[in-house]
Amino acid sequence: MPDNQHEKIFLSDYKAFPWKVDRVDLTFKLSPKATRVLSRIAFRPDPAAPAAPFFLHGESVRLISAAIDGEPVSPDVTDRGLTCDVPDRPFLWEAEVEISPEENTALEGLYMSNGIFSTQCEAEGFRRITFYPDRPDVLARFRVRIESDLPVLLSNGNPVASGKGFAEWDDPWPKPAYLFALVAGDLQPVRDTFTTRSGREVDLAIWVRKGDEHKCAWGLESLKASMKWDEETYGREYQLDIFNIVAVSDFNAGAMENTGLNIFNSALVLASPETATDAEFERIEGVIAHEYFHNWTGNRVTCRDWFQLSLKEGLTVYRDQQFTSDMRSAPVKRIEDALLLRARQFREDGGPLAHPVRPESFVEINNFYTLTVYEKGAEVVGMLKRLVGDNAWRAGCDLYFERHDGEAVTIEDWLAAFADTMGRDLEQFKRWYSQAGTPRLSVKEDWDGQTYKLTLTQSTPPTPGQSDKLPLVIPVAIGLLHPDGAEIVGTTMVEMSQETEVLTYDIADLCKRQGKDVARPVPSLLRGFSAPVIVEFERPTEENAFLLAHDTDPFNRWEAGRNLSREVLLKRAAGEEADDAHLVKGISSVLRDTHLDPAFKALVLGLPSEDDIAQGLHAAGKTPDPTAIHAAGEALRDRIAEELEPLLAKTFDENQVPGPYSPDAAAAGKRSLANRCLGLLSRRDDGARAAAQYDSADNMTLSLAALSALLNIGKGDAQLADFETKWRDDPLVMDKWFSLQVASAAPEDAATTADRLTGHPAFNWKNPNRFRSVFSPLANANPAGFHDPSGKAYELMADWLIRLDPVNPSIAARGSTAFDTWERYDTGRQEKMRAALQRILDTPNLSRDTREMVSRILGD
Ligand code: ARG
Ligand code: ZN
Superfamily of domain covering 440-537: Aminopeptidase N, middle-beta domain (2.60.40.1840)
Percent of the chain with pLDDT over 90: 99
Q: Which ligand has the shortest distance to the CA of 768?
A: 1
DSSP for 614-662 reads HHHHHHTT----HHHHHHHHHHHHHHHHHHTHHHHHHHHHHT---SS--
pLDDT surpasses 90 at 3: no
Count each helix (H run) and each strand (E run) in the chain, helices first: 30, 31
Residue whose CA is at the smallest distance from ligand 1 atom 5: 256
Q: What is the pLDDT of residue 860?
A: 82
**Crossing angle of the two packed helices 554-573 and 581-592, in degrees rounded to 10:** 150
From the CA of 639, how far away is ligand 1's center (Å)? 43
Which has the closest alpha carbon to 849: 13, 124, 120?
Answer: 124
Q: What is the 3-state secondary structure (H, E, C) of 698-759?
A: CCHHHHHHHHHHHHHCCCCHHHHHHHHHHHCCCHHHHHHHHHHHHHCCCHHHHHHHHHHHHC
Residue boundaries of the structural domains of the chain: 9-269, 301-434, 440-537, 728-860
From the CA of 360, how far away is ligand 2's center (Å)? 20
Burial class of residue 585, CB neighbours in 10 A (0-12, 13-18, 19+): middle
What are the φ and ψ backbone dihedral angles of 733, each rounded to 5 degrees? -75, -35
Q: Which residues line ligand 1 (CB under 6 A)?
A: 122-123, 253, 255-257, 290-291, 313, 366, 369
Q: Give the separation between CA 784 and CA 610, rounded to whole angstroms.
A: 8
Beta carbons of 63 and 30 less than 8 angstroms apart:
no
What band does 5 get if pLDDT is binned at 50, 70 and 90?
Answer: low
Q: Give the separation between CA 670 and CA 672, rounded to whole angstroms.
A: 5
b (16+ CB within 10 A) / e for 10-31: ebeeeebbbbbbeebbbbbbbb
Same topology, domains 9-269 and 301-434? Answer is no
pLDDT surpasses 60 at 1: no
- Strand pairing report for 474-481 and 407-409: unpaired
Q: Which ligand has the shortest distance to the CA of 808?
A: 1
Q: Give the separation between CA 854 and CA 860, rounded to whole angstroms.
A: 9
Angle at 364 between CA 361 and CA 369, to 5 degrees: 85
Is 301-434 a CATH 3.40.1080.10 domain? no
Residue of 122, 364, 368 to mutate, ligand 1, most atoms within 8 A of C-beta: 122
Which has the closest alpha carbon to 5: 81, 116, 74?
Answer: 81
Angle at 435 between CA 433 and CA 438, to 5 degrees: 105
Rg (CA), the chain: 28
Residue whose CA is at the smallest distance from ligand 1 atom 12: 256
Percent of the chain with pLDDT over 70: 99
Position 767, amino acid: N
Q: Give the separation between CA 303 and CA 413, rounded to whole angstroms.
A: 10
ipTM above 0.90, yes or no: yes
Q: Give the separation between CA 812 and CA 789, rounded to whole angstroms.
A: 24
What digits encode the pLDDT tens for the residues 430-472? 999 999 999 999 999 999 999 999 999 999 999 999 999 999 9
Which has the closest alpha carbon to 530: 410, 436, 439?
Answer: 439
Beta carbons of 455 and 446 less than 8 angstroms apart:
yes
Average pLDDT over residues 715-728: 98
What digits encode the pLDDT tens for the residues 471-516? 999 999 999 999 999 999 999 999 999 999 999 999 999 999 999 9
CB atoms within 10 A of CB 450: 12
* DSSP element (H, E) containing 843: none
Q: What is the pLDDT of residue 362?
A: 97
Residue 291 known to be catalytic:
yes
From the CA of 254, how far away is ligand 2's center (Å)? 9
Class of domain 9-269: mainly beta
Question: How high is the mean pLDDT of the chain?
Answer: 98
In 25-162, alpha helices (H): none
- Options 1.25.50.10, 1.20.1260.10, 1.10.10.10, 1.10.10.1590; CATH of 728-860: 1.25.50.10
Ligand 1 atom with minimal separation from the 120 CA: 8
From the CA of 474, how far away is ligand 1's center (Å)? 29
What band does 807 get if pLDDT is binned at 50, 70 and 90?
Answer: very high
What digits encode the pLDDT tens for the residues 538-579? 999 999 999 999 999 999 999 999 999 999 999 999 999 999
- Within 8 A by CB and 6+ apart from 799, the residues are none
pLDDT surpasses 80 at 6: no
List the catalytic residue out of 94, 291, 348, 559.
291
Range 735-740 contact pairs with CB under 8 angstroms and sequence separation of 24 or more: 735/267, 735/769, 735/770, 735/772, 735/773, 736/700, 736/704, 736/773, 738/763, 738/770, 738/773, 738/774, 739/773, 739/774, 739/776, 739/777, 739/781, 740/704, 740/707, 740/708, 740/711, 740/777
Q: Give the separation between CA 705 and CA 381, rounded to whole angstroms.
A: 35
pLDDT surpasses 60 at 2: no
From the CA of 291, how far away is ligand 2's center (Å)? 6
Average pLDDT over residues 652-663: 98
Residue whose CA is at the smallest distance from ligand 1 atom 7: 253
What digits encode the pLDDT tens for the residues 757-774? 999 999 999 999 999 999
What digits encode the pLDDT tens for the residues 59-94? 999 999 999 999 999 999 999 999 999 999 999 999
What's the N-to-C CA distance of the chain in angstroms? 26
What band does 4 get if pLDDT is binned at 50, 70 and 90?
Answer: low
